Each structure stands twice: as C-alpha cells, then as structure tokens.
Amino acid sequence: MIADAIQALRSALQPCRNRESSSAYLTQATDTLQDRLQSCSPGSAELTRAIERVEAAFSGNDGWPLIKHCFERDVDRSAFVKRLVRNHVSTTQVGLEHVRRKTSDAQLDTAATQLCSALRPHIREEIVNRWSRAEDTGVHVTEGGAIAVGIPGTDLRLSLMDAGFSREGLNLSQAEVTQLLLARPAGTPPGTTLLDSMPTLTQGHALASFRMIGAAVRVDGSLPPGLDPEAVRGVAAAAHDALSHVTGTLAEREPLARFFHWVGDDLRAGQSRQAIATIRAQTSPQEDLRTDEIARALLASGQDVRRANGLRIGVERHRAAFHYDRAAQPRLAAEQYLAAAKIFAVAGDRMMAAGNYANAAEKLSACETFTPMVTALAHAIELYGDDFRAVSKLGSRCAEVFAARGFHISAAMVHELVVTRFDVLERGAGVNVAALDALIAEHVAKAEAAFAAVGLSAYDENVPSLIRAAIDARLDRFTTAEGLQGDGYRILFEDHSDMVSAEEFDKNASTEWILLRRGASTASHQVYELMTSATRHALFSSGSPHPYLRQPLTASDFIDGIDALDMLTAATAGTVAAGSVVPETTPQMETNLTTEWTRL
C-alpha cells in the first residue's frame, strides 16, 4: 500500500516524459518547472519564473508545433499557451494554489472549457481511446481533487475541472464517459477504477461528478453494463446534495432525475423534478420549446407557446409531488401539487387542476390542521362542479387521513364543508336529489361522530367555549413539565394561567384561549403554550417582540379557533380506525340535516 501511495504521488507530480523532446531548452524548462513545483511554496517568485520559462518555450518555434499538432488554430498564441501551461500547473496542489492567487476557479473552469473545445479531433480520439487500456490510460487524479488527462505527444496534462465535462467541453458520449468511469487512474493498483475515486473527487468538484454520472445515464434512467449502481448512486447523491443550491441546466438535471427514479431515491428524484420545473419557469417559452416541437404541436401563436410551456412546468411540478409523496414528505408533495394545480388552472385544464388540488388537500391532511388545507380542498371542490360523488370521495379521504392522526375536529370540518357544497348543488337543476340527500346524511353523521370521538357536540357553535371545555377536561395533564403531548408538538399551560397577563384559567369565563408557538416555525418538534386572545391583541398593539424569540411577532406565531381546538383534543384523543363504519342516520340526526353550521 505504501509503495502504491508513493507511486501515485510521483505520478501526480511528474509528467510522462516525451521521449522525443523537441529541444533541450524545452526539456530543461519543463524539468525546472517540475522541480519548482516540488520545492517551492505557492506564490514563490522562483515558481513564477519557472512557469514563464515554460510558456516562452512553448510559444517559441520549437515548442509551438507541439501545441499546433494538438489544438486548433488560436488567434493569440501567447494567450493560448499561457492558458494551457497554467492549466497544466494546476494539476499539482502547489501549482493550483499558486495559480489561484491571480486566477479564480471560475476563470480556470472557463480555460478548461476553451482548451477541451480546441482539441483537434484526432487528439481527442486518442485521449478517449487510452481509457480502455489496462495500463497507461492517461487518466490522472490531481492533488486538488480534479480529473486530468495526458495530452498525447507532450509532457502536459489537461485538468478538466468542472467545465471540461460540459457539452461545451469534451462533450462525452454515454459510451465515452462509461469508459472514463471504468478507466484505471495512473498510480493506482490494478482493478481500481476512476469511479472508485469519485467519492473523494465529489467533495471539491461536485459538478464534474454530476455531469459525468448524468452523461452515463440511459434514457430510462438505468446504467450501462459495468457500472455498479450502488457506487454510482453514492456519487450521484453526494453531488446532488452538494449542488442543492444550484439550479443548473435541463441537460444536467434531467438525466439525474431519471436515475434517482430508477434506483428508487424518491426524495432526490422529487428535488430534481422541482429543479427542472424551476429551470423551465426561468426559461423563455420560445427557448424552452424547440422549433420542431412547436411545429409538431401546431402551436400557431405566442399564447399557444406560453400555454404549452406552462403545461410542461405543471407536469414537472406534478412529478416532483409524486416522488415527494413516495418519499413520505407530504408537506413537500402538497407544495408541488398546489404549484401544479395553479398552472393547470391558468392553462384552463380543469381536470388536471382539480386533481392536483385534491392531491394537495389530501397531503396537507397528513401534516396540517383544517385551516392550512381548506383552500386546496375548496378549490378542488369548486373545480369538480356538480360532480358531487367526486366531492364526497375527496372529502371522505381527507377526513379519514385527519382522523387517523387523531385530528377529529379537522375531519368533522371537512365533512361540514362537503355538506355546505351539497346544499348549494341541491338547489341546482338536473341534480339527483335522492342520491345527494343520501350523501348529505352520510357526511352529517360522520361529522357528528368525529365530534363525539373527542367528547364534543357537532352542534355547539361556540368554539371558544369548546376550547375551554377541552382545556378543563385536560387540566390534570398540564401539571407535568411535558404538558400535553401531540404528534410532533406539545402544549404547555404552566400554573394554568397566561404567562404574560397572569390571567388564570376559568372554564366559566368568556375568555378566548389560543396557542402561542414558542420556537421557530422550522423546528421539527413544536412547543406551544396557552394564551388569551386579549394578550395577543395587547402584544400586537404595543409592538412587543415575540416573548421567547425576541423577534417581531407575526400572525403565524399563533393558532386559534378550530385548529387550536383540534390540537388540544388530538393530543389525548383515541383515534378512530380509518374506514370504520358510521351508523346509519337516526331520526335525531335526520332532524339536524337542515341545520347550517357556522364554523366555516
């Protein structure tokens, strides 16, 4: 192992000598440069002079023919040679740090692109053909964590950086990048491949790894033979995570989205689809929809093009939501379903808009209370129009999800919203009144059962009174430091009083009690405390900061009404099995069918 490490270090510091050196001066200059790269520190004047001598040697009559043989004609000989030599120097750690003193990484990346694109076809072909050899592949892993390739016929190496793997750089085909990933880097033991080294390289050159893996992915997201899916997945995941703040391009994101779907990494597949939607939204419609696609779709006007572009964005949002849902991320799924629904609604596709709003409502039922999800549900119900059976099914699904989490009040509110919609439909012409009445009775019964599950009446319209009753029934639970435990939250009520105003709890008083969130909204586990609505009003009126966070108060710091009641009752209520049979409507229930709930 030590011998292998020494050999790898020598390989990184010493270029392959060209047996037929063009001139003694060129040989001496390159030898001196290699010596200075090993003996000098970054920023050394000696190292600078050694670099300049090599540049002069390659710009001269003896060295320039070697450059011309490998690269297409360049307008400025000295500028091109300088670019090439600085790139070569950056393949060592000392050289890279030295060059970085006057050149940014972005400039080095640009230079790598220019050099790759300037390679003559036969030289590029020779570079690629080497990768399939058992020995002398010309592939090097630099000390700076980049990939470099030897330039045939010279002592130089070409550091590919990140941009060298772009379409403007080497523009590797699927077969070529597969060869490269399976190539043995110089100085490594037999059987070692570049793919084995990729986890280390990804730390500094995530974009290069991202582009290489993307180029290797097939149309269906699978990999060519020879590439280990687990190894590739590890590299792709690390690169994806490192580039989470970068949108990228469609050419880079699309293959990885397919790959993550293929390996079952739904979270990253969803993130990739979301990034693709963002890219499309930031791209002009004419640029996003290629001319041949416009012709095939017979898009005659600019408005048609914009609509088609919007629909593509909507599809990507829908795909992102699909993957987030499979990754058990209901909130992320809901966000993307909502975004897709709005796009389809603007485009006039009512069916797709309704479906996405419905999906969003169902996912929000899995992570929120009634108020944050009701807008999505209401939009879906409106778009369903007079299809009351679809409205009933959606309402039942959302209510079942709420009930399974113990949020019976939210479940009841969903049923009430459905009944309210049915009351409107019942007044329309051509409606099957008998079928509609049967569904109304069913949803009324389910709403009553949901309230009964937490010991409350569906016909008590006074929500503050219901909250006081819920608090009073649970006062003994507030005596512990943990307070009232819920799913992902807890509610405190120290000394059974408002911690700001010191008002004590009295179940017979008309006080309205609400919840104040103590911590940041992004916390995974939330802590709330009970407070009076009068205290909230006083805090806002006086411009007081948040009592615990010492930042401006916002309306989102508080939860009140039905949602507060639901959180109080869900923390201790037993859950009703989803899909449990609700008793048929009794005469008592029947008399209440015409009662209008006013909580909505």
H helix count then E strand count, the chain = 27, 8
User: What pLDDT, on the 0 to 100 scale, is given for residue 18?
Assistant: 45
CA angle 208, 211, 212 (to 5 degrees): 85
Mean pLDDT, to the nearest integer, of 136-143? Answer: 93
Residue 101 — pLDDT band, cuts 50, 70, 90?
very high
pLDDT digits (tens, 9 = 90+) for 489-503: 999 999 999 999 999
User: What pLDDT, on the 0 to 100 scale, is given for residue 425?
Assistant: 87
Cα torsion through 26, 29, 32, 38, rounded to 10: -90
User: Could you tell me if 478 and 446 lie in one domain?
Assistant: no
Going 464 to 468 to 474 to 480, the CA torsion angle's sign is positive
119 contacts 127 by C-beta, under 8 angstroms: yes
Mean pLDDT, to the nearest integer, of 341-358? Answer: 96
DSSP state letters, 335-396: HHHHHHHHHHHHTT-HHHHHHHHHHHHHHHHTTS-HHHHHHHHHHHHHHHTT-HHHHHHHHH
- Which two three-digit tokens encode residue 49? 């002079």
Q: What is the mean pLDDT of the chain?
A: 87
Q: Does residue 143 have a pLDDT over 90? A: no
356 contacts 318 by C-beta, under 8 angstroms: yes
Mean pLDDT, to the nearest integer, of 321-325? Answer: 98
Q: Does residue 63 have a pLDDT over 50? A: yes
User: What pLDDT, on the 0 to 100 scale, is given for residue 583?
Assistant: 31
Classify residue 189: in a domain, yes or no: no
Q: Does residue 2 have a pLDDT over 80? A: no
pTM for this entry: 0.83
Of 178-187, 202-211, 281-290, 529-538, give the lowest mean pLDDT range: 281-290
Domain boundary among 460, 483, 512: 460
Residue 293 — pLDDT band, cuts 50, 70, 90?
low
Cross-strand partners of 517:
528
Instruction: Read off the amino acid at residue 490.
Output: R
User: What pLDDT, on the 0 to 100 scale, is given for residue 523?
Assistant: 85
Q: Show Cβ contacts of residue 40 under 8 Å, excluding neighbours closer than 6 positions.
A: 46, 47, 50, 94
CA angle 382, 383, 387 (to 5 degrees): 85
388 contacts 422 by C-beta, under 8 angstroms: yes
CB atoms within 10 A of CB 426: 13
Q: Does residue 43 have a pLDDT over 80? A: yes
Domain boundary among 460, 484, 512: 460
Containing structural domain, residue 444:
385-460
Q: Does residue 73 have a pLDDT over 90? A: no
User: What pLDDT, on the 0 to 100 scale, is given for residue 246?
Assistant: 78
pLDDT digits (tens, 9 = 90+) for 504-560: 999 999 999 999 999 988 888 899 999 999 999 999 999 999 999 989 999 999 999
Q: Show Cβ contacts of residue 485 under 8 Å, excluding neighbours closer than 6 positions.
A: 571
User: Could you tell me if 477 and 414 lie in one domain?
Assistant: no
How many structural domains compose the chain?
2
Classify residue 28: in a domain, yes or no: no
Classify residue 503: in a domain, yes or no: yes
User: What pLDDT, on the 0 to 100 scale, is given for residue 4?
Assistant: 52
Backbone angles phi, psi at 226, to 5 degrees: 100, -25
User: What pLDDT, on the 0 to 100 scale, is given for residue 378?
Assistant: 97
Of 189-203, 279-293, 348-362, 382-396, give the lowest mean pLDDT range: 279-293
Classify residue 266: in a domain, yes or no: no
Classify residue 172: in a domain, yes or no: no
CB atoms within 10 A of CB 461: 13
Buried b (16+ CB within 10 A) or exposed e, 526-541: bebbbbbeebbeebee
Domain boundary among 413, 439, 460: 460
User: Could you tell me if 406 and 472 lie in one domain?
Assistant: no
User: What pLDDT, on the 0 to 100 scale, is given for residue 380?
Assistant: 98
User: What pLDDT, on the 0 to 100 scale, is given for residue 429?
Assistant: 66
Mean pLDDT, to the nearest integer, of 377-403? Answer: 97
User: Could you tell me if 436 and 526 lie in one domain?
Assistant: no
Mean pLDDT, to the nearest integer, of 186-196? Answer: 94
Mean pLDDT, to the nearest integer, of 180-191? Answer: 95
User: Could you tell me if 407 and 485 lie in one domain?
Assistant: no
Distance from C-alpha of 526 to C-alpha of 486, rounded to nearest angstrom: 10
Query: Three-state SS for 279?
Result: helix
Closest CA to 331 of 388, 376, 272, 276: 376
Classify residue 337: in a domain, yes or no: no
User: What pLDDT, on the 0 to 100 scale, is given for residue 307?
Assistant: 78
User: Could you tell me if 561 and 479 lie in one domain?
Assistant: yes
pLDDT digits (tens, 9 = 90+) for 425-435: 877 767 888 99
Mean pLDDT, to the nearest integer, of 225-230? Answer: 96
- Which two three-digit tokens encode residue 168? 């403007």
Task: Name the more confident of 490 and 15.
Answer: 490
User: Could you tell me if 446 and 422 lie in one domain?
Assistant: yes
Q: Does residue 597 have a pLDDT over 70? A: no
Classify residue 421: in a domain, yes or no: yes
User: Could you tell me if 454 and 476 lie in one domain?
Assistant: no
User: Could you tell me if 499 and 541 lie in one domain?
Assistant: yes
Q: Does residue 305 have a pLDDT over 50? A: yes
Q: Does residue 291 have a pLDDT over 60? A: no
User: Could you tell me if 505 and 545 lie in one domain?
Assistant: yes
User: Could you tell me if 509 and 436 lie in one domain?
Assistant: no
**% of the chain with per-residue pLDDT over 90:** 71
pLDDT digits (tens, 9 = 90+) for 394-443: 999 999 999 999 999 999 999 999 999 999 887 776 788 899 999 999 99
Q: Does residue 176 have a pLDDT over 80? A: yes
79 contacts 107 by C-beta, under 8 angstroms: no
Distance from C-alpha of 476 to C-alpha of 496, rounded to nearest angstrom: 10
Mean pLDDT, to the nearest integer, of 333-361? Answer: 97
Q: What is the 3-state secondary structure (H, E, C) of 14-45?
A: CCCCCCCCCCHHHHHHHHHHHHHHHHCCCCCH
Round the CA-based radius of gyration of the chain to a whole number and report it: 34
Cross-strand partners of 53:
none
Classify residue 418: in a domain, yes or no: yes
User: Could you tell me if 425 and 475 lie in one domain?
Assistant: no
User: What pLDDT, on the 0 to 100 scale, is given for residue 285?
Assistant: 60
Mean pLDDT, to the nearest integer, of 168-195? Answer: 95
Residue 19 — pLDDT band, cuts 50, 70, 90?
very low
